[in-house]
Structure 1
Amino acid sequence: MLDLALKSVIACLPVIVLAAALFHLDSHRLLGTHFLARMFLCGGVTAVLSAVVNAQVIAAYPFEFLDYTRYVAPLIEESLKAAVLIWLFRTNRVGFLIDAGILGFTIGAGFSFVENIYYLHLVSDAHYVTWFVRGFGTAVMHGGATALFAIIAQKLTERHLQMNPLLYLPGLIVAVLIHSIFNHFPVSPVLSAAVTLLILPTLLFLLFERNTVSIHNFLELDFATHQRLLRQLEHGEFTGCEAGRFLLDLEQIVPEAVARDMINYFYLHTELVLGAERILLAREQGIEIRIGAETVAKLEEMHRLERHIGRAGLKMLRQHLHFSSTELWDIHLLDEIAPAPAHRPT
């Protein structure tokens, strides 16, 4: 029993410790622990799905096992993990590059955790070296490959609101290549595990450290931009910006009542995004700003307007007013931390 417990620690603990370390690098606390726990579970589910799909493909096609692990399994497993992240991107649950990396690593950690538990049950008598390779090599590879997919996808899609599958392809290719190269074991398995443990976490830590500065600069710039835009809206200075000129022309495009709702929606959206950025800038200083009843009421009103305007109207607004995915994530953040549940957008 002690032998199995020790092997379990070697196989499962390293990647969880790394995921926790990455989470603590996030000075803005953009992701909650409960949300990350759900993503860890999602990663575990993808491991189960991968096992099912791999078994069916192996049964249906006459692959050599070694060739399958090198060329086919990486594509299936990385695609399933990537599918979870694509859903997160499309539902505005990823705000910045550091979020993407942490979520990707967490999903990969959940995948490797379930996979290693399965192998512990299957071949529990394997030598400790096997569990060292799986814990410090394979598990870190799963987390790192998925994190890199997430980071590349975030970088390519952060300014695009429309779904374009091709933007996710480069990150998927990188993840599959990393997985495939690891499975080739060009040298000894132990050395491959050591190289993986050294390179992937170091790369992620460097990216995160650089992105923390980028987030601060981005927030300050966006905060100033939204402050200026809000002042223009409050004083009726619509002609001072492209968004304002579009809003002035709305009554010629849609009925007056709908145009009024769209203008109110844009005003509330800008005000709430500014509030979310104020919260994030305060978190940098270790200050937690609570959301009050007034903000909750504004969220409710904005979501009511979304339902009234409809999908076609919202699509037109977002195209002409150049909403970014980060702004939509700001609204999602407020929805998540509001003391009372606000209605979700349609």
Structure 2
Amino acid sequence: MIFAEIVDWSIALVPVLLMAALFVWLDVFKLMSVSEMIGLLLLGALAALVAWPVSGQMLDALPMGYSFYSRMVAPWIEEALKGAALALLIATNRIGYKLDAVISGFTIGAGFSVVENILYLVRFPELSASVWMVRGLGTAVMHGATTAILAAVTHELIERSLRNQGARRGFNFLWMLPGYLVASLIHLTFNHFPDQPMLVMILTLVVAPVLLIALFRLGENETHQWLTEESEAHRRWLEEWRAGGFPADASGQRIKSLAARLKPEQASLIRDFCIVKAELVLAAEEELLDRDRKLEEGEAERLRAAFARLEEVKQAIGKVGYAALNRQLPFSANDEWELEELRELIGR
């Protein structure tokens, strides 16, 4: 009896967790740490617990329910809750590149499915191992895949809207609507074949990994291209600052106009801040492109000193002066995310 329960729990919970760990391991840019992965799993688990007061009272004792709620209502509610967890990450700038978005989305979905399957395991312990196989290899993978698709579509819309606007100045839920509709319709379709669970499971196991790997490779190529282009732009920007002038782009000219209205010592602080921040952003991009996520001896200490210098100059500029400067800086939300990745790398 105990052995049978261990088998049931293992096939219901382990496959999707292994798949999430595999995606994190395959990430050549090493964007996600183990602690971050656990945090995302817990975020997805929380979304499942929020769904329990409604969905939990309408569970069918089958891998995919026959009820109207299971087929027509649950997909919209569950994808909305997983989407809310994803929205929290996006709104707080915890997702940088599309690759990061895909991994984060799948991991949130995995966390959701684990809790959902635990609830099934507790409520229906008498069900056969074949049911848990369908839920562990079919339903759980579907949850991860739909949230990954939602994340990828949302990320694409955000980048199209904001790539040329500098730092993000808010979060628009309309960015998530197309991805939410796609994810919900896939989920709804999945739930519409309760009398053929094994076939649906097999199709999910074939289609979902292929689709996810395609998104994964797309995200990887996009990340590499973005990092290369951004690092080249920041290198040119830094060279212009170091040469004693102002960058020729719109941002540089706005900062030039701001500096002209200030006292020489304040203008000098603005130049120092721009140089140090550009150096740090460039260092973050070079470390991501390096891919091994390891620093040379003494590099971590130098970067810590640079972060300390950046904060020192920021304080010297003052709140009002920094607020005026920050509106003109060309650094995007992705650049700020890269700086957070660099801080994590050096242990700050």
Paired position in structure 2 for 1:289: 295
Deviations 1:243-271 (A, max 9, x none): 22111111467787766555443332211
Residue identity matched to 1:119: Y
Question: Following TM superposition, by how much is the alpha carbon of 1:78 offset from its aligned partner in structure 2, in angstroms?
Answer: 1.4
Residue identity matched to 2:197: P
Question: Following TM superposition, by how much is the alpha carbon of 1:276 offset from its aligned partner in structure 2, in angstroms?
Answer: 0.4
Question: Following TM superposition, by how much is the alpha carbon of 1:72 offset from its aligned partner in structure 2, in angstroms?
Answer: 2.4
Does structure 2 conserve the Cα–Cα contact (< 8 Å) formed by 1:46 and 1:111? Answer: yes
Q: Unpaired segments of 5 or more residues in structure 1?
A: 59-63, 342-346
2:340 matches 1:332: yes
Question: Following TM superposition, by how much is the alpha carbon of 1:218 offset from its aligned partner in structure 2, in angstroms?
Answer: 2.3
Paired position in structure 1 for 2:18: 17
> 1:152 & 1:309 partners in 2: Cα distance?
40
Question: Following TM superposition, by how much is the alpha carbon of 1:199 offset from its aligned partner in structure 2, in angstroms?
Answer: 1.0
Distance 1:223 1:7, change over 3 A: same
Question: Following TM superposition, by how much is the alpha carbon of 1:312 offset from its aligned partner in structure 2, in angstroms?
Answer: 9.7
- My pick for the range that moved more, 238-247 or 148-157, is 238-247
Deviations 1:20-58 (A, max 9, x none): 221122111011111111111111111111102435899
**TM-score, normalised via structure 1 length:** 0.86
> 2:117 & 2:190 partners in 1: Cα distance?
16
Question: Following TM superposition, by how much is the alpha carbon of 1:187 offset from its aligned partner in structure 2, in angstroms?
Answer: 6.1
Secondary structure of 1:70's partner? helix
Alignment of 1:218-229 (within 5 A): 218-229=226-237
Paired position in structure 2 for 1:170: 178
Identity %: 35
Residue identity matched to 2:279: E
Distance 1:56 1:305, change over 3 A: farther
Q: Name which of 251, 264, 267 aligns with 2:275.
A: 267
Secondary structure of 2:32's partner? coil
Does structure 2 conserve the Cα–Cα contact (< 8 Å) formed by 1:43 and 1:111? Answer: yes
* Count of residues paired in the alignment: 332
Deviations 1:190-237 (A, max 9, x none): 111111121122111022123323322322222221111100011123
Secondary structure of 1:238's partner? coil
Paired position in structure 2 for 1:109: 110
> 2:302 & 2:13 partners in 1: Cα distance?
45
- My pick for the range that moved more, 305-314 or 104-113, is 305-314
2:82 matches 1:81: yes
Distance 1:190 1:268, change over 3 A: same
Paired position in structure 2 for 1:67: 68
> 1:281 & 1:253 partners in 2: Cα distance?
39
CA RMSD of aligned residues (A): 2.7
Residue identity matched to 2:335: E
Distance 1:241 1:157, change over 3 A: same
Paired position in structure 2 for 1:7: 8
> 2:126 & 2:51 partners in 1: Cα distance?
24
> 2:141 & 2:132 partners in 1: Cα distance?
13
Alignment of 1:230-269 (within 5 A): 230-238=238-246, 240-251=248-259, 261-269=269-277
Deviations 1:294-325 (A, max 9, x none): 311322343455676559954x6565444322
Does structure 1 conserve the Cα–Cα contact (< 8 Å) formed by 2:95 and 2:101? Answer: yes
> 2:109 & 2:20 partners in 1: Cα distance?
9
Distance 1:186 1:338, change over 3 A: same
Distance 1:302 1:221, change over 3 A: same
Secondary structure of 2:67's partner? helix
Does structure 1 conserve the Cα–Cα contact (< 8 Å) formed by 2:72 and 2:188? Answer: yes
Paired position in structure 1 for 2:192: 184
Residue identity matched to 2:286: R
Distance 1:204 1:330, change over 3 A: same
Residue identity matched to 1:125: E
Does structure 2 conserve the Cα–Cα contact (< 8 Å) formed by 1:112 and 1:142? Answer: yes
Distance 1:7 1:186, change over 3 A: closer
> 1:125 & 1:12 partners in 2: Cα distance?
17
Deviations 1:41-83 (A, max 9, x none): 111111111102435899xxxxx98222223222222122112
Secondary structure of 1:240's partner? coil
Residue identity matched to 1:89: I
Q: Unpaired segments of 5 or more residues in structure 2?
A: 60-64, 163-167
**TM-score, normalised via structure 2 length:** 0.86
Question: Following TM superposition, by how much is the alpha carbon of 1:183 offset from its aligned partner in structure 2, in angstroms?
Answer: 1.4
> 1:83 & 1:260 partners in 2: Cα distance?
44
Deviations 1:116-135 (A, max 9, x none): 11111111111222112101
2:224 matches 1:199: no
Residue identity matched to 2:226: F
2:127 matches 1:126: yes
